[in-house]
Amino acid sequence: MKTYVCGHRNPDVDSAMSAYALADLRRRTGSENVEAICAGRMPDKARWVFDHFGLEPLTSRRDVYVRAKDLIDPHVPVIDGAAPLSESLRQLETSGESSLPVRDASDGMFLGMLSPVKLLGLFLAKSDLTLPTAKAPLFREGVVLSENDRVYDIRRTAVRDAHNHFPVVSDTGVLRGTILKRAFAEEPPYRMILVDHNETAQGIPGVDEIPIIEVVDHHRISFAPTREPIRYMADAVGSTCTLVTRLYRAAGLRPTKEIAGVLIAGIVADTLLFQSPTTTAEDRTTCAWLEKICGEKAVDIMKGLSQVDSPLVSMPPEQAVLSDAKCYNEGGRKFLLAQIEESNFALFHQHQEELSAALEKIIAAQGLDFAVLMVTDPLYGNSELLYRGSERVRRMLPYRLGGSGTFLMPGVLSRKKQLLPAILAAVS
């Protein structure tokens, strides 16, 4: 069974790196078929890390919804429409199935289902059983599924249908295979490990439909109950990569040189090279241990990250806002907190009007009460806040309004430890 390791949507460096490293650790400790994926677009800084250490970047996925193509039974035969009917009947009998799909021999198009009931008239008329199967009476009245249909949407219809076999076709009608009815009652074909988050609302779309077997996180706990016991590691450190490194050491393993570099990148990115108030002594000692394996200094990796183009330059405004954003639902209000690292506040002010419009658009599209963008200068340890939405919440913010129309936040670096508590106090 496939297991995906995935960070939160709108991933940052720590999210991507911790997923990559934990997938490696799980494979090395005996788990099979484990793959790290990225919830949406890979951030440029994360891509730089993979390129720098010569590693294949994570596969980006929009969602992990279970779809019809995921339930196809590879053991159910497919009949060639050009085969003689007699041969196809022997294949049907040997399979033990009540019906089998027939496809065109030339283009793979679905032609119908071969069923003994439909062929009864041929037997009574003593027809020639050497004719091609494609010319025989085929059953076409049943439910035909598209390969991209969500199982959640089609399960009820399929379970209530009188038939036990459901052909699955592509958007152009090419036969992909068959789903047996019993598959709709079975567990999904893959499982999830969450890193750098534990709230499914912040996870990749579809995660709430899949069994979660492990969580490794350093944020507040807001995790839904599970049916089975799971591995759960949560601790107040500055980076999820610190916790993943702890797991390596607990297993008596050392990451490779390249993965040690990946872990360093996650730590320095999330702790802003240990300047963030979320930084702990363990983050520092972990980084020192990884430096010995990697052969590169944390400060040099941070310099490389800082040279990657700012989202304010490389992305459209709305995409820049959403590149590192988290949605919350607290105190009866739904809101979004976005963060961009940028050492040039002049560049931020230059794009402020477009970013404000992007926040307004996101509020309307997602039905939010308000949205904020915190632009952080990790070198000088300051941030500025661009706010749009509820006037009542705006008045409750504990920050001074600057001349550019943004809130000034001296010494504020952490969305999790500094901004979020201030926002929660404002909405309470």
Dump the DSSP string for 273-290: TTTSTT--HHHHHHHHHH
Per-residue pLDDT band at 310 (split at 50, 70, 90): confident
For the chain, percent of residues with pLDDT exceeding 70: 96
Per-residue pLDDT band at 134 (split at 50, 70, 90): confident
Looking at the structure, tell me whether residues 173 and 269 fall in a common domain: no
For the residues 303-332, what does the mean pLDDT come to?
89
Looking at the structure, tell me whether residues 375 and 294 fall in a common domain: no
DSSP assigned state of 109: B
Residue 260: its pLDDT value, please? 99
pLDDT at 287 over 70: yes
Answer for the pair 60, 42: CB distance below 8 angstroms, yes or no. yes
Answer for the pair 248, 29: CB distance below 8 angstroms, yes or no. no
For the residues 56-82, what does the mean pLDDT come to?
94
pLDDT at 120 over 80: no
DSSP three-state, residue 13: helix
Per-residue pLDDT band at 266 (split at 50, 70, 90): very high
Q: For 90-94, 282-286, 406-410, which range has the lowest pLDDT when averaged over its residues?
A: 90-94
CA nearest 271: which of 222, 311, 237, 318? 237
Residue 125: its pLDDT value, please? 47
- Rounded to whole angstroms, the Cα distance separating 378 from 412 reads 10
- Rounded to whole angstroms, the Cα distance separating 209 from 110 reads 30
Looking at the structure, tell me whether residues 203 and 127 fall in a common domain: no
- Rounded to whole angstroms, the Cα distance separating 372 from 352 reads 12
- 20: which 2 tokens? 């990559």
Q: Which of 277, 306, 335 is the last residue of a domain?
A: 306
Domain CATH for 137: 3.10.580.10
Looking at the structure, tell me whether residues 123 and 104 fall in a common domain: yes
Domain extent for 124: 70-180
pLDDT at 195 over 80: yes
Per-residue pLDDT band at 146 (split at 50, 70, 90): very high
Residue 406: its pLDDT value, please? 95
- 294: which 2 tokens? 């990697």
pLDDT at 219 over 50: yes
Per-residue pLDDT band at 124 (split at 50, 70, 90): very low
Looking at the structure, tell me whether residues 196 and 292 fall in a common domain: yes
Answer for the pair 273, 264: CB distance below 8 angstroms, yes or no. no
| Mean pLDDT rounded to a whole number for the chain | 92
Residue 128: its pLDDT value, please? 58
CA nearest 208: which of 66, 380, 419? 66
Q: For 116-130, 288-302, 383-397, which range has the lowest pLDDT when averaged over its residues?
A: 116-130
CB count within 10 Å of CB 99 equals 24
pTM flag (> 0.85): no
User: Which residues in 78-155 belong to E strands, given as ranges?
Assistant: 79-80, 100-103, 110-114, 145-146
Domain CATH for 416: 3.10.310.20
Which amino acid appears at position 80 of this protein?
D
Per-residue pLDDT band at 419 (split at 50, 70, 90): very high
Looking at the structure, tell me whether residues 163 and 101 fall in a common domain: yes
What separation, in Å, do the N-terminal and C-terminal C-alpha atoms of the chain show? Answer: 44
Q: CA separation (Å) from 128 to 92, 99, 122?
A: 18, 20, 8
Burial category of 137 from C-beta neighbours within 10 Å (exposed 0-12, middle 13-18, buried 19 and up)? middle
Specify whether the backbone of 332 is left (phi greater than 0), alpha (psi in -120 to 50) or beta. left
Answer for the pair 18, 195: CB distance below 8 angstroms, yes or no. yes
- Rounded to whole angstroms, the Cα distance separating 426 from 264 reads 35
Looking at the structure, tell me whether residues 55 and 193 fall in a common domain: yes
Q: Which of 306, 333, 352 is the last residue of a domain?
A: 306
Q: Which of 136, 152, 180 is the last residue of a domain?
A: 180
Looking at the structure, tell me whether residues 302 and 256 fall in a common domain: yes
Q: CA separation (Å) from 284 to 219, 256, 292, 333, 412?
A: 19, 19, 13, 37, 20
- Rounded to whole angstroms, the Cα distance separating 331 from 76 reads 52
Per-residue pLDDT band at 132 (split at 50, 70, 90): confident
Per-residue pLDDT band at 224 (split at 50, 70, 90): confident
CA nearest 355: which of 341, 327, 375, 335? 375
Which amino acid appears at position 369 of this protein?
D
Per-residue pLDDT band at 118 (split at 50, 70, 90): low
Looking at the structure, tell me whether residues 330 and 419 fall in a common domain: yes
User: Which residues in 332-399 belong to E strands, given as ranges?
Assistant: 333-341, 370-377, 382-389
Answer for the pair 383, 412: CB distance below 8 angstroms, yes or no. yes
CA nearest 9: which of 40, 35, 36, 43? 40
Residue 119: its pLDDT value, please? 62
CB count within 10 Å of CB 377 equals 17
Q: CA separation (Å) from 52 to 122, 156, 296?
A: 67, 48, 11
For the residues 84-102, what does the mean pLDDT come to?
86
Answer for the pair 373, 415: CB distance below 8 angstroms, yes or no. no
Looking at the structure, tell me whether residues 415 and 318 fall in a common domain: yes
pLDDT at 129 over 70: no
How many domains does the chain fold into? Answer: 3
Looking at the structure, tell me whether residues 298 and 197 fall in a common domain: yes
- Rounded to whole angstroms, the Cα distance separating 308 from 17 reads 17
Looking at the structure, tell me whether residues 44 and 75 fall in a common domain: no
CA nearest 269: which of 414, 399, 139, 154? 414
- 329: which 2 tokens? 């639902």
